[in-house]
Structure 1
Amino acid sequence: MYIKDKYQKTSDANVFVKADGTEISRDKLVEVLNELLQNRVDENLGPHDEAYIVDLDTLVGTGYFEARKKAYASAESQLEMQYDDLIDSTTTWKDHVASIKSKFPKGD
């Protein structure tokens, strides 16, 4: 995965800082990276695909992360959906993810 802006860990383990002094909390950075990884899986993107090169600053602070995080089912529920989908040849999990992404789209 390639991220244009590299954040460095500070003496406070819960804060990362960019060269220009911009700070981001550890929780927010983890949230952003989890979203990037999920998008990579959803879109079958590899680390060298142009569409996967991301400017982290454009993602941090946008409200759709928080909204999506609250709307998604728990990880355990999503795993159960995926298993049931495999057994039953259904698309419950994909439908769940698609509905949330549709309800809380990324800004352009």
Structure 2
Amino acid sequence: MDSEDILSESKNKIRQGASPDDIITYLHVRKFTIAESIKAVRHLYALPLGEAKQLVAMHPAWKDVDQATAEFHRELIETLKTDKDTAFPAEETAYAKPIHRDSQTP
């Protein structure tokens, strides 16, 4: 079953009374990614992106992904606050030199 078939089946389920929770669970079971699920819910319910994102991300089916992402963000922020090696002066980086796209030199 491809994604179009799954969306079609989701529409049928909605017509038969399936709730948004039911649909999000169905999409998760059918191996939609969280991004694909947000896009599908946005389309199926004509929701703004932020609302669809919140609805999907807060759903219990995606709790593990939400927790992992939150933990990653906490660790990243903590590392950036404490790791002095993350702040490189521009002259020390390989990318500090201007790139001249018109020239023949690499």
TM-score range, shorter chain: under 0.3
Q: Which has the larger radius of gyration?
A: 2
Bigger relative contact order (CA 8 A; separation at least 6): 1
The structure whose residues are more often strand, as a share, is 1
The two structures have a TM-score, normalised by structure 1, of 0.26
- Whichever structure has more helix as a proportion of its residues is 2
